[in-house]
Amino acid sequence: MRFGGVTAVNDLTLHVNKGQIVALIGPNGAGKTTAFNVVTGVYTPTSGKILFNGKDITALKPHKITQLGIARTFQNIRLFKELTVMENVLIAKHLHLKHGLFSTALHLPWARKEEKEMRIECEELLAKVGLIDLKEEVASSLPYGQQRHLEIARALATNPKLLLLDEPAAGMNPQETSELTHFIKNIKNEFDMTVFMIEHHMDLVMEISDAIYVLDFGELIAQGTPDQIQQNEKVIAAYLGVEEDA
């Protein structure tokens, strides 16, 4: 992915297999979020392809990619702050509505039935992620950690097969990070979810990842299991630097 004369991501090849939690890590400015933006259709790559379940999704718009089963969160929480927890999740659920605006405006029977079913599904989702008791709370009133959980729940409401998390632990204290670690594990198991995440909190990454890819200056410098990555000299150098020769 190039922006003018700047190559943000160069010759990146990676695989996220069904049922895995895969992490993309690297120093600030390594190209991680750019890679996410390419996968989700925010950017069209300068060259190369994005394949999802064997289908080329490279030129698709973000909403089409979401409909195919890829959902994401953002480093900066993007909730509808003045809406309730339930309303935030309902908005995402509307992606799969079968009836149109006309039917909804006229309160036609099939539209009312679908809306009722949708609300039940959202309540079931909130129960699974531990937010059901907060469903009528305004999103902005929630503690930071629960706002992050809600953002992830809203992504789950689109019925994804692949969930992309962009620095989900950003801004969290150790207790919140620990709770998030368990939360991601639970949703992976509860929803049979495949997770692809960017994260700087290495304790979280090393505890839950099946595979890790490491970017530095837009280049893939390492890939492997958590144990392999922790011992990789290129990764250590990228994060800690190396002494210059005298």
CATH number at residue 76: 3.40.50.300
Given this model, what pLDDT does residue 246 score?
41
56's CB contacts (< 8 A; 6+ apart) are 49, 50
Q: How far apart are the first and last CA of the chain?
A: 36
Tally of structural domains, the chain:
1
Given this model, what pLDDT does residue 26 score?
93
Structural domain includes residue 245: no
Structural domain includes residue 142: yes
- 64-73 burial: b if 16+ Cβ within 10 Å, else e: ebbeeebbbb
Residue with structure tokens 């039935």? 113
Structural domain includes residue 246: no
Structural domain includes residue 82: yes
Domain span holding position 228: 2-240
With residue 35 as reference, give the H or E element that holds it: helix 32-39
Given this model, what pLDDT does residue 25 score?
95
Given this model, what pLDDT does residue 111 score?
60
Q: Residues of the chain whose pLDDT is less than 70?
A: 95-112, 114, 240-246
- Give residue-wise pLDDT tens across range 34-86: 999 999 999 999 999 999 999 999 989 999 999 999 999 988 888 999 999 99
Residue 220's DSSP bridge partners are 215
Specify whether the CB–CB gap between 24 and 35 falls below 8 A: yes
CA distances from 235 to 13, 36, 143, 226 (A): 17, 20, 34, 12
Structural domain includes residue 141: yes
Query: Residue 96 and residue 64: Cα distance in Å, rounded?
Result: 11
